Structure 1
Amino acid sequence: MRFARLVLGAALTGGILSTAALPAAAQAVPVPVSVSAAPAPVSAQQAGLPVPPGQAAVAIKGQAQRTGYYCAPASGAVVLGAFGIARTQDQLAKEMKTDAKAGATKRKNTLAVLNAYVAPKGYAFRLTYAKDNPAALMLSVAQAVGVHKRPTIVAVLGNKLPWSKGKRKVGHAIVAYGYDRSKGTITVWDPNGRRGATGRHVIPAKALAAVVHDLPAEGLGGVYDLSKTPAP
């Protein structure tokens, strides 16, 4: 198994790590439905945002990352697919300048590429902080999923996730596409190729916030916050 250092994964980052190496072609897996960073607000009311429903999920077409360092391109392909935008992992890796030698994708590149595709549809992503702040994390996920009906990306330390624990620090990108505020849980898709890691997982928001990969020194948050852009 190859562990590669990503910068937001690295893509999701200025530095995110990737996980397991996969077969040459990633198999799409249908999943039923079901730039500057700023601190995320703790409530929609405080932020003047639409109040999301108590629980929601959106349909995604999950993918396993094609290489050990493609977590950002894979997560990006899943998210863009929900916007009706078809891009392969290889296409996004090229556009995001994913570095095979470093095994990384810089967050600023991931953010720029995602926004270039969703801007014509009237949306924009920004990076926000949510490390050890489950309320902020839940708000960002609920706004994307419950209000805008789209999934979003969360930068995490992949080796700290309950289903892929390891000793080596590994930056990673996963997709959040569902939540239940009453249960305090978030549903994610992990593109990691490790056995038992790839696919759908339901995790407490508190546990997920504990492994969010924020990079304050670089001005980068760990959650992609989605919003509608003003009409021209």
Structure 2
Amino acid sequence: MAKARLLASALVLTPPLLLALPAGAQAATVPSSAAVRTVVVAQAPSASPVETAAVKKLKLTGQKQQTSVWCGPASVRAVISTWGRHLPSQKTLAGWMKTNKNGTGSDKLPEGLNRALSPRLDERYQNFHPNNAGFVWNVVVDNVGKRHHGVIARVLVGAKPWGPHSRDKAGHFMVIFGYNTSGKKLIWWDPANNTVHTASLTASWNAIKTGNRYLTAQPHT
């Protein structure tokens, strides 16, 4: 009996094992299994949550523009492809949007999209004139990330978001169909040569700003 009392006393008096943690650190809850290792997660109290890198990229059917001035019809066709709908020919779209030897007017792009997609549209396409990079980002995240449809942007041939650059000031339409939250990058499709490029939001905004600030998209919420 005395032996049992001594053992119980020893158990009571033995202090629990404590882990020394840095100030503000949090210890993960660990099951009482010997096979599970104790994990300590150190986090400063003032630290903001770490953003997980996320790439959103739509399925897009690209077709190189069939004439030197059909970047508008080619871009509209590519956006329609993100809807999974029947794709009109570039020639048909050029006729709808009154594309001529000088190209397609920026105000005609919504007409081509709305005619091809109606009546399935909840919100009809329209032109926006962003005044900062944040506006561009919000429109892209809303249209691409939430609605799952592409956005058309107007730039200059010689001032695309990637190099090399030139002095060519002809207008050029391209499609934004993806983004990467890590570092805020946009994913572009270029109808001039049916290629895909990734550019920073800053470079993308500079190109859009130089191209007279045109985005053709559905209204962002």
Q: 2-side partners of 1:154 and 1:228: how far apart?
A: 15
Please give the alpha-carbon distance, in whole angstroms, between the structure 1 residues aligned to 2:110 and 2:219.
13
What are the residue-to-residue correspondences of 1:107-118 with 2, within 5 Å? 107-118=106-117
Find the aligned partners of 1:90 and 1:109 in 2 and give their Cα distance.
Answer: 15
In the comparison of the two structures, how many residue pairs are matched?
166
Deviations 1:157-187 (A, max 9, x none): 1211123522121211001100012321000
| Matched residue, 2:119 | 120
Matched residues in 1 for 2:142 and 2:86: separation?
20
CA distance in 2: counterparts of 1:80 and 1:164, whole angstroms: 29
Mind listing any 5+ residue stretches in structure 1 that lack a counterpart? 1-52
TM-score by length of 1: 0.65
Rounded to whole Å, the distance in 2 between the matches of 1:167 and 1:214 is: 12
Identical aligned residues as a percent: 23
Q: Which one-letter code corresponds to 2:95 in the other structure?
A: K
**Which structure is higher in RCO with an 8 Å CA cutoff and minimum separation 6?**
1
Counterpart for residue 61 of structure 1? 61
Distance in structure 1 (CA, Å) of the matches to 2:125 and 2:141: 14
Q: Partner residue of 1:11?
A: none
Preserved CA contact (<8 Å) 2:177 2:189: yes
| Structure showing the higher strand proportion among its residues | 1
- The answer to whether the 8 A contact 1:70-1:89 is kept is yes
Partner residue of 2:202 out of 196, 201, 206: 206
Alpha-carbon spacing, 1:164–1:111, altered in 2? closer, same or farther (3 Å)? farther
Residues 55-204 of structure 1 mapped to structure 2, 5 A cutoff: 55-83=55-83, 84-100=85-101, 103-122=102-121, 123-130=123-130, 133-161=132-160, 162-193=162-193, 198-204=194-200
Deviation, 1:214, is 7.1
Q: Distance in 1 between matches of 2:158 and 2:137?
A: 22
RMSD across aligned C-alpha pairs, in angstroms?
2.3
TM-score by length of 2: 0.68
Structure 1 stretches of at least 4 aligned residues deviating more than 3 Å after TM superposition = 213-216
> Quick check: 2:154–2:211 contact (8 Å CA) kept in 1?
no
Provide the residue aligned with 1:23 in structure 2: none
Alignment partners' CA distance in 2, 1:163 and 1:76: 24
Q: Distance in 1 between matches of 2:209 and 2:94?
A: 20
Give secondary structure in 2 for the equivalent of 1:65: coil
| Residue of structure 1 equivalent to 2:8 | none
Query: Structure 1 residue 130: deviation in Å?
Result: 2.6
Determine if contact 1:129/1:214 at 8 Å carries over to the other structure.
no
Q: Which residue identity is paired with 1:226?
A: Q
